[in-house]
Structure 1
Amino acid sequence: MERTIINMFETSVSKYGSNVFLKESKNGKYEALTYDEAKKYVYYFAAGLISLGINKGDRLALISEGRNFWVISELGILYAGAVNVPISVKIDELNDLKFRLDHSGTRIAVVSASQLHKIRGIKNDLPELEKTIVLDKIDDLQEDELCVEDLLKTGEEFLKAKGNILIERMQSVKENDYANICYTSGTTADPKGIVLSHRNYTANVEQATSLLPIPEWYTTLLILPWDHAFAHTAGIYTLMYNGASMAAVETGRTPLETLKNIPKNIKEIKPTFLLSVPALAKNFRKNIEKGIREKGKRIEQLFNSALKLAYNYNAEGWNRGNGKRKLLKPLYKLYDKILFSKIRENFGGRLEFFIGGGALLDIELQRFFYAIGIPMFQGYGLTEAAPIISANVPAKHKLGSSGRIVDNLEVKICDSNGSELPAGQKGEIVVRGENVMVGYWKNEKATAETIKDGWLYSGDLGYLDEDGFLYVLGRFKSLLIASDGEKYSPEGIEEALTENSKFIEQVMLYNNQSPYTIALIVPNKEQIKRFLDENNLSHKSEEGQNAVIKLIDEEISKFKQGGQFAGEFPERWLPAAFSLLGEAFTEQNHFLNSTLKMVRGKITEFYKQRIDYLYTPEGKNIYNHQNKKIVERMFQ
């Protein structure tokens, strides 16, 4: 049997037909859809597409918030033998969207009502785009637009009259046929379309399940964007393969309202695990700590004591409670009963763990969640690998690592000449397996540069330890490069600065063969204001401005000789100068991508003059006029 997504779903339906598959909140209440019920809609959707003239290999784009019909639409597209082009709802630049639709040759766009205006704004310049299917009821459909309910009715009639055509189309799909074209965030040039086949996905689902078996009673609230590779495979398809269920976050009228629905939805769904990215994890932690602070100084002190003991008891996870640390177990259990268990109740009471991906997760953050009894297990992957390469799991984990390699995947660490390095030595992470992409859509040059003799060159720096755990240190493209050519990954320092300083919200380090490293720093305005108020200082006065600049400098100095965290990082890579920024890095200004990772190229380009200024004698002086002006304007 061909190992396609179609056959994977059919097998799951035959095994788990009456199990709940999808949940969506409608009118404030979650409604469930079983595997059997979902299959019926998939057939109608696929038949409807065939009746519209969709042929095998055609491309359709899917642009929608997470919902039941996101999954049904994708499966319907695949059942019709077509290729889905999942696109983030966060793409607001119409030219960016137009590029993806034009480059992929999309014939039909499947969109939610909130995304329809984007298609209407660009369709006149997209000759290949024939029709738009709208997933919500709207009153003012245009001539080339179709409501999904009408598509389903057409599909149902088509099935009655010509059902054999759909069956033939499904059976014609082979495991090496294309399933998706997933576009990169395009941080340096036009985005590349990553072509993933049916077998890329089914292989990666098998690999993921080999590391972490999923019981059919497991459920999750899928918070991450569903078009994102991590949510796509580790969420939708791995749950589907195992007969488990997933729920969508209740969509609000605005993105902020949707975000505010997450805590409420977690309590309603009571997930057994959650997929997370660092930005989301930090937000969860911030809310937990805020809740503790609001209970008063005594509870806050108790919580901090409990954390300190838990960090000591847990160590790196795999050696939890070993040696003399086992003596701490009774007190840890007490703290867990009176404090940590109460926190877990806010996550529904059933949450066993998080799986973290998308970017490097600071070890301090991992220790925090491990302490409160909801471990956040770091994984590693690339969309080009469908995407899971390694992961920590409850049975085998080391905090600080990215986990063990999945089954049936070869991984090696190579030097700049492509020679394999022994355990413990740092180099480029290179992988080979059935989950490695077909290539980049209409881009043979980029494909040849990335896949060599079947090996996918990740562009990531890392090493394997003696136990086979992978440690990912960062992107080669984001490395700091000193004037003598030595390289260093900035992510660890950046994470440490933001995690250990309440005054630093965001930071990006920069060194491109320069005499010293510099930092672009987004201060935490709320904490800066509190500091000024407590010291009876004004941001308008030079004294207040200097005090804020000195405060930020002292936070950095904690990592230098004599400081609280001295020795964590080589001093040459710590910033010798910094520029305070008045605007945060966000998705709206395109300084963060859809997984909330910094888009370093765009930040560097935008702040080029500020960066150049920091390499002048005047700019190297942290009390320069630019930093003072930023503080002066901080609360306007």
Structure 2
Amino acid sequence: MPRTIPHLFESCASRFDINVMMMEKRGDSYHSSTYREIQVEVHRCASGLMSLGIVPGDRIGIISEGRNAWVVAELGVLYAGGISVPLSVKIEELSELKFRLAHAGCRMVFVSGTHVRKVMKVRGDLPDLETIILFDPNGPLAEDEIAFADLQDRGKAYLDIHRNVMDHRLDAVREYEPATICYTSGTTADPKGIVLTHRNYTANVEQCAKHLPQPEGFTSLLILPWDHSFAHTAGVYLLMTIGGTMASVQVGKSLLETLRNIPQNIGEVRPHFLLSVPALAKNFRKNIEKGIAAKGILVQKIFSKALAIAYEQYGDGWNGGGAFRKPRHPVFLLAETMIFRKIRASFGGRLEYFIGGAALLDIELQQFFYALGIPMFQGYGLTEAAPVVSANTPAKHKLGSSGTVMPGIEVKICDENGNALPVGEKGEILVKGENVMVGYWKNEKATSEALCGGWLHTGDIGYLDDDGFLFVLGREKSVLIGHDGEKYSPEGIEETIVAHSPYIEQMMLYNNQSPYTVGLLVPNKEAMVQWLTSRNLSSRTDEGQEKVLIMLQGEIDRYRLGKKGVFPERWLPAAIAVMGEGFTEQNRMLNSTLKMVRGRIAEFYRNRIDFAFTPEGKSIDNLQNKMIIRRMEERQG
């Protein structure tokens, strides 16, 4: 069988024809569609596109929340020999949307009702864009617009006459041809279009299936954006191979409303596993702890004690024997009956584990979910690798690591000169395998820098341990560089400080060959106002400003030598600049996977950073910090 995505789906639709493939909430309940039913829709979509003149190699964009039509549209594009260009629904800057559509040269674009206005605003600047296909038409359509339902009707009519034409087009798709162009999150000047072939995807699906076998019929609620390659491979395509079911989150009137639907939808879908990223994991934990706090001090004490018992027994999973054996301590058993079982029930009662990707996942966060009986297995990947490279599994895991490398993938750690390093030494992570991209769209320079001798230079720093587990320390471009040239990845410090301080919302460390490290600190304004109020202080007075700043300094100083001493002293911030505004996607200081866009943050706050390297700015109670604290309470009021 040809190793392309359409042929993979044809095989799965034949094997699992009556299995439920997709679940979509319409009104008050979820509706199911079988593999056979989705296959019929895909054939009609592909034929509809062909009737509109799509030819092999044409690029077609998709901008929509997760839904049945998303998968039907992408498969339809691929059946017709086209190239899918999945775009983030979180793109708000019209210039970014226009760049991607223009750079890819999209002839058509599928778009949901929530995002159609953005496309309409840039369509006049896109000479290649011929047709807009609307999932949710509202009102009369222009000449260059067509409703998705009408496209399907055209496809049905086309199939009745030209069935052999679509079959021929499908058979002509080759595994080495591009399937998607996925754009990076724009952490540099212009995002790069990552070209992934059909074989890149099918290879990674095979690798994942061998590494983490799943039984037929597993169900997942795909809560990550569907344009992410992680959701593509580990969600949509991997589920296909086991005849599994993929459910979409109920779409709200806004992104925030959609996110609020997730807990209820989890209970309705009752998934066997969930794909997650650190931001979602932290939000799940926050809600769990909020619920525990509402039950009173006794329940809180039992909960905390049970967690401590579980942390000690399980260790990192590997040194705990690698098996999931529950503690027999009476307090843990009490918590299991009173608390943990109910928490698992809130996730539908069938959830076996989370699979985590994207940014680094704090080990304590992993231990937390492990203790609850729904472990969160961290993996490592990047879109350029389609994307999964390594992952922890129920059978073999070490918390704090990114798991062992997938079968069929090679990983080596190299120094700055490209020399392979021995086990345990830190360097750049290089990846090789059939899953590795062919390059960046229209960017030979970036391609030659990323691919060398078949090896993908990831730009990530990490090491392999004696047991074969990969530890990812952070991005090479995000490392702190001391005045003596020594380097250090900041993510561990930032994550730990934020995770363990109720008063710090975000933290970015900065050191570019400087005498010391500076921390850009985004405070939790609500928590700080409560702290001030409980002490009869006000941020409008010098005393209140100084005391709250000293408190923030103390939150950092907990990690210095003589106290916790968890991190090297030189990389902890010697100066702190308190920020009046958080890092968000809206101000473009977080990308679509909620990672900090460090270059943009450093550039925007250049004056604050420069001031922090002066004698006056190094003091926590400098005038700039005081001014931010003063405004904080005014805005709360």
Q: Same fold (TM over 0.5)?
A: yes
Aligned residue number for residue 207 of structure 1: 207
Q: Find the counterpart in structure 2 of residue 511 from structure 1.
A: 511
Give the Å deviation of 1:115.
1.3
Find the counterpart in structure 1 of residue 463 from structure 2.
463
Note the C-alpha offset of 1:327.
Answer: 7.2
Preserved CA contact (<8 Å) 1:24 1:32: yes
The AA in structure 2 aligned to 1:37 is E
1:238 Cα deviation from its structure 2 partner:
0.7
Q: 2:604 aligns with which of 600, 606, 622?
A: 606
Is 1:523 equivalent to 2:515 in the alignment? no
Partner of 1:617: 615
1:585 is matched by which residue type in structure 2? F
Residue 92 of structure 2 aligns with which residue?
92
- The equivalent of 1:583 in structure 2 is 581
Shift of 1:335: 2.5
2:592 — aligned with what? 594
Deviation at 1:330? Answer: 5.6
Number of the residue aligned with 1:225: 225
User: What is the alpha-carbon distance in structure 2 between the residues aligned to residue 360 and residue 76 of structure 1?
Assistant: 35
**C-alpha distance in 2 between matches for 1:7 and 1:589:** 42
Report the AA paired with residue 236 of structure 1.
V
Residue 624 of structure 2 aligns with which residue? 626
Output the CA distance in 2 between the equivalents of 1:208 and 1:197: 17
Runs of 4+ in 1 over 6 A off after TM superposition: none
Asked if structure 1 preserves the Cα contact closer than 8 Å seen for 2:302 and 2:331, the reply is no
Cα drift, residue 337 of structure 1: 2.1
What's 2:113 paired with? Answer: 113
Matching residue of 1:548: 548
1:158 partnered with 2:147? no
**Shift of residue 214 of structure 1?**
1.6
| Length-normalised TM-score, structure 2 | 0.98
Distance 1:320 1:82 in 2: 49
1:26 aligned partner: 26
Distance 2:63 2:326 in 1: 51
Q: Is the Cα–Cα contact under 8 Å of residues 230 and 357 in structure 1 kept in the other structure?
A: yes
Structure 2 letter corresponding to 1:405: V
Residues 182-191 or 434-443, more deviating? 182-191
Identify the residue that residue 54 of structure 2 maps to in structure 1: 54
Report what 2:562 is aligned to.
562
2:494–2:508 CA contact under 8 A, matched in 1: yes
More displaced stretch, 519-528 vs 606-615: 519-528
What whole-Å deviation, never above 9, does each CA across 1:392-429 have from its counterpart, x for those lacking one?
01110000000000000111111111111111011110
Separation in structure 2 between the aligned mates of residue 327 and residue 246 of structure 1, nearest angstrom? 34
Q: Secondary structure at the match of 2:169?
A: helix
Counterpart for residue 351 of structure 1? 351
Alpha-carbon separation, structure 1, partners of 2:254 and 2:461: 38
Structure 2 Cα separation of the partners of residues 32 and 137 of structure 1: 23
Task: Report if the CA contact (8 A) 2:51-2:154 is conserved.
Answer: yes
Q: How does 1:45-194 map to 2 (within 5 A)?
A: 45-194=45-194
SS in 2 for 1:113: coil
Residue by residue over 1:321-380, the C-alpha shift from the partner in whole angstroms, topping out at 9 and shown as x without a partner, is 799x99755653442222211111111111111111011001111111111111111100
The C-alpha deviation readout for 1:512-567, integer Å capped at 9, x for no partner, is 0000001000111121122111111111111111111011110101101222x22x
Q: Give, in angstroms, the shift of residue 176 of structure 1.
A: 0.5
Q: 1:531 to 1:59 in 2, by over 3 A?
A: same
- Paired with 1:146 and 1:326, the residues of 2 have a C-alpha distance of 56
Amino acid at match of 1:261: N
Could you tell me which amino acid in structure 2 is paired with residue 611 of structure 1?
A: I
Compute the displacement of 1:319 (Å): 2.9
CA contact (8 A) 1:194 1:439 kept: yes
Distance 1:107 1:554 in 2: 56
Q: Answer yes or no: is the 8 Å Cα contact 2:481–2:513 preserved in 1.
A: yes
Q: Tell me the SS of whatever aligns to 1:634.
A: helix
Q: Is the 8 A contact 2:322 2:396 kept in 1?
A: no
User: Aligned partners of 1:334, 1:293: CA distance in 2, in Å?
Assistant: 17
Q: Distance in 2 between matches of 1:545 and 1:141?
A: 57
* Structural RMSD (CA): 1.3
Give the residue type in structure 1 aligned to 2:153: K
CA distance, structure 2, for counterparts of residue 211 and residue 312 of structure 1: 28
CA distance in 2, matches of 1:520, 1:384: 30
CA distance in 1, matches of 2:326, 2:132: 62
Paired amino acid for 2:184: T
For 1:197-596, what aligned pairs fall within 5 Å after superposition?
A: 197-320=197-320, 328=328, 331-563=331-563, 565-566=564-565, 568-596=566-594
User: How many angstroms apart in 1 are the aligned matches of 2:353 and 2:150?
Assistant: 41
Distance in structure 2 (CA, Å) of the matches to 1:89 and 1:157: 32
SS of corresponding position for 2:115: helix
Give the aligned partner of residue 10 of structure 1.
10
Quick one: distance in 2 between partners of 1:238 and 1:580?
44
Q: Secondary structure at the match of 2:114?
A: helix
What secondary structure sits across from 1:400 in the alignment? Answer: coil
State how far apart, in whole Å, the 1-side matches of 2:271 and 2:333 are. 23
In 1, the alpha carbon distance for the partners of 2:428 and 2:321 equals 35
Q: Give the letter aligned to residue 117 of structure 2.
A: H
Relative to structure 1, is the Cα distance of residues 327 and 213 closer, same or farther in structure 2, using a 3 angstrom cutoff? Answer: closer
Cα 1:162/1:321, change in 2 over 3 Å: closer
1:216 and 1:243 in contact (8 A); partners too:
yes
Query: What SS is found at the alignment partner of 2:551?
Result: helix
The one-character-per-residue Cα deviations of 1:567-595 (angstroms, maximum 9, x if unpaired) are: x1111100001011111111111111111
Q: Secondary structure at the match of 1:180?
A: strand
8 Å CA contact 1:579–1:614 kept in 2: the answer is yes
CA distances 1:47-84 after superposition (whole Å, capped 9, x unpaired): 00000000001000000000001000000000000000
Aligned-partner SS, 1:575 = coil
Shift of 1:185: 1.3
Distance 2:373 2:83 in 1: 41
| Aligned-partner SS, 1:268 | helix
Partner-residue secondary structure (3-state), 1:507: strand
Could you tell me whether the CA contact under 8 Å between 2:217 and 2:242 is conserved in 1? no
Partner of 2:38: 38
Report which stretch shifted further, 234-243 or 158-167.
234-243
Letter in 2 for 1:498: V
Distance 1:281 1:609 in 2: 34
Find the aligned partners of 1:11 and 1:284 in 2 and give their Cα distance.
37
Instruction: Give the Cα–Cα distance (whole angstroms) in 2 for the partners of residues 350 and 333 of structure 1.
Output: 20
Shift of 1:306: 1.1
Q: Which moved more, 1:64-73 or 1:297-306?
A: 297-306
Tell whether the 8 Å contact from 1:521 to 1:578 is kept in structure 2 after alignment.
Answer: yes
Q: Matched residues in 1 for 2:490 and 2:333: separation? A: 37
- Measure the CA separation in 2 of the matches of 1:3 and 1:159: 24
